[in-house]
Amino acid sequence: MSFDIVELIVAKRDGAALPDDAIAWLLGNYPGGAVADEQMAALLMAIVFRGLDPRELRTWTDAMIASGTRLDLRGLSRPTVDKHSTGGVGDKISLILAPLVAACGAAVPQLSGRGLGYTGGTLDKLEAIPGWRSTLEDDQIRRQLEEVGAVVCAAGGSLAPVDRALYALRDVTGTVESIPLIASSIMSKKIAEGTQALVLDVKVGRGAFMESPQRARALAATMVALGESHGVRTRAQLSAMDRPLGRAIGNALEVAESIDVLRGGGPADVRELTLALARLMLEAVGIDVDPVTRLDDGSAYETFVALVRAQGGDPDAALPVAAHHARVRATRPGVVAAIDARAIGVAAWRAGAGRARKEDPVSPGAGLRLLVERGQPVAVGDELLEVRADDVTHLERATAAAADAVRIDEVVAPELALLLDRVEGAAH
């Protein structure tokens, strides 16, 4: 069957719902070129304004899944549960959470992505560990899940491949910020990954996709409903991203901070969010273990070491350190009123920790270290931030971008609670 693409664009533009067979045809024919980029871009823009109703969204997601293969994780001796974060600054939670939840008895298939723009990516972070590789074959994934309990690897090109083409088009046509498009993009990959259960960490605030709690809640509810309707037990935790998570931002710096948490220390916010997500994941697969015990008895760290070794990494090797360092200092006295997640993320990106285009390399040692906490009194000249880069020009640009990231004032500014709402499926 064939459709008139212009009629479909006009129908969506005018607010009509698209029939199921038209959606399947559109997404099935886009990769081959029968639907041109400019037509798909126009349709995506119409969706940004008009949305997709629940039936259309389900069909759209099914068509994205059907564009590739599904990983078969059935038959493992442990239940499978994954976590996905909508992305933020200093968000190294996956590095800690995957081995922690594995140490509690679940299997965690973390098929992850790379950073783009100012938000970091889990694979870029782990690649700071000498020798660690992100690409695994399907049978290696299954074996490692059975033996170690956790895998963090690149989502192969065969999972929902039409998403890659659509995402690249959305990125250059101003059509990323749409709840149904984000929800179908994230959930098609997670459903194709074959996990039984999924916990979504939906970030809220200036450093996140969704700046308002209302939009974040709507995105969470949409993704939870999609997961549940595809047989994946799905729940979401909304969490703050108005300031960075932890004190380290940048690939190797975040690995080091994650290891601190895995050894029972590290910043309180990173530990608190990790434990909250771990509890949700364990509850979703019916494992009654308190994850604190696995952080404190060293077994989460041992599982991390096993995961790194299984993927070719040397957990004892020194992490890379960038060649050049600079400090940002206070130019007035007062208290640390706020630390702006987006400004910190942009500064780390400029230092070389992130990439502007998908093909760009990242600098593993580049990034920022926060040297103060919100509420701390400071005098003129006190050190607020350390900036690290491999290239002096990057160091200068990053230091300039970081200059106002730590706001000094007379009073402390309000901030979001770290843990906001939870969203569960209708069945709970």
Catalytic site residue from 170, 217, 233, 294: 170
Distance CA(422)–CA(308), nearest Å, equals: 32
- Please, what's the b/e burial string for 257-289 (b: 16 or more CB within 10 A of its CB; e: otherwise)? bbbbbbeeebbebbbebbbbbbbbbbebbebee
Q: Is 186 in the site for ligand URA (CB under 6 A)?
A: yes
Catalytic site residue from 58, 83, 84, 114: 84
**For residues 221-260, which are near ligand URA according to CB under 6 A?**
none
Catalytic site residue from 85, 185, 229, 258: 185
Q: Which residue is nearest to ligand URA (CB)?
A: 185
Segment near ligand URA (CB under 6 A), from 49-57, 97-105, 147-155, 177-185?
A: 177-185
Minimum CB separation from ligand URA for residue 176, in Å?
6
Q: Is 185 in the site for ligand URA (CB under 6 A)?
A: yes
List, as one string, the DSSP characters of 260-325: HHHTT-S-HHHHHHHHHHHHHHHHHTT----HHHHHHTSHHHHHHHHHHHHTT--TTSPPP--SEE
Segment near ligand URA (CB under 6 A), from 178-186, 265-273, 293-301, 382-390?
A: 178-186
Neighbours of 160 (CB within 10 A): 28
Minimum CB separation from ligand URA for residue 186, in Å?
5
Q: Could you confirm whether 189 is annotated as catalytic? A: yes
Q: Is 44 in the site for ligand URA (CB under 6 A)?
A: no
Q: Could you confirm whether 288 is annotated as catalytic? A: no
Nearer of residues 182 and 261 to ligand URA, judged by Cβ: 182
Nearer of residues 176 and 292 to ligand URA, judged by Cβ: 176
Neighbours of 117 (CB within 10 A): 13
Task: Give the interface size with ligand URA as a residue count (CB under 6 A).
Answer: 6
**For residues 154-173, which are near ligand URA according to CB under 6 A?**
167
* Helix 251-262 / helix 93-103 crossing angle, nearest 10 deg: 30
Nearer of residues 18 and 202 to ligand URA, judged by Cβ: 202
CA distances from 414 to 95, 221, 345, 417 (A): 29, 26, 20, 9
- Quick one: how far is CA 383 from the chain centroid? 30
| Inter-residue contact 61 to 222 (CB < 8 Å) | no
| Inter-residue contact 215 to 179 (CB < 8 Å) | yes
Q: What is the identity of the amino acid at 351?
A: A
Share in percent of the chain as helix, strand, coil (round to 5): 45, 15, 40
Nearer of residues 201 and 386 to ligand URA, judged by Cβ: 201
Catalytic site residue from 12, 58, 189, 388: 189
Catalytic site residue from 62, 82, 91, 163: 163
Q: Could you confirm whether 14 is annotated as catalytic? A: no
By CB under 6 A, name the one of 65, 95, 182, 370 that touches ligand URA: 182
- At 350, is the secondary structure helix, strand, or coil? helix
| Inter-residue contact 109 to 82 (CB < 8 Å) | yes
247 phi-psi bin (left φ>0, alpha ψ -120 to 50, beta other):
alpha
Chain position carrying tokens 């399947």:
24
Neighbours of 29 (CB within 10 A): 15
Nearer of residues 178 and 399 to ligand URA, judged by Cβ: 178
Per-residue contact flags (x/-) with ligand URA for residues 112 to 151, judged by CB under 6 A: ----------------------------------------
Q: Could you confirm whether 190 is annotated as catalytic? A: no
Segment near ligand URA (CB under 6 A), from 74-82, 96-104, 175-183, 292-300?
A: 175-183
Per-residue contact flags (x/-) with ligand URA for residues 321 to 360, judged by CB under 6 A: ----------------------------------------
Q: Could you confirm whether 358 is annotated as catalytic? A: no
**For residues 263-282, which are near ligand URA according to CB under 6 A?**
none
Catalytic residue positions? 84, 163, 170, 185, 189
Binding site for ligand URA (CB under 6 A): 167, 176, 181-182, 185-186
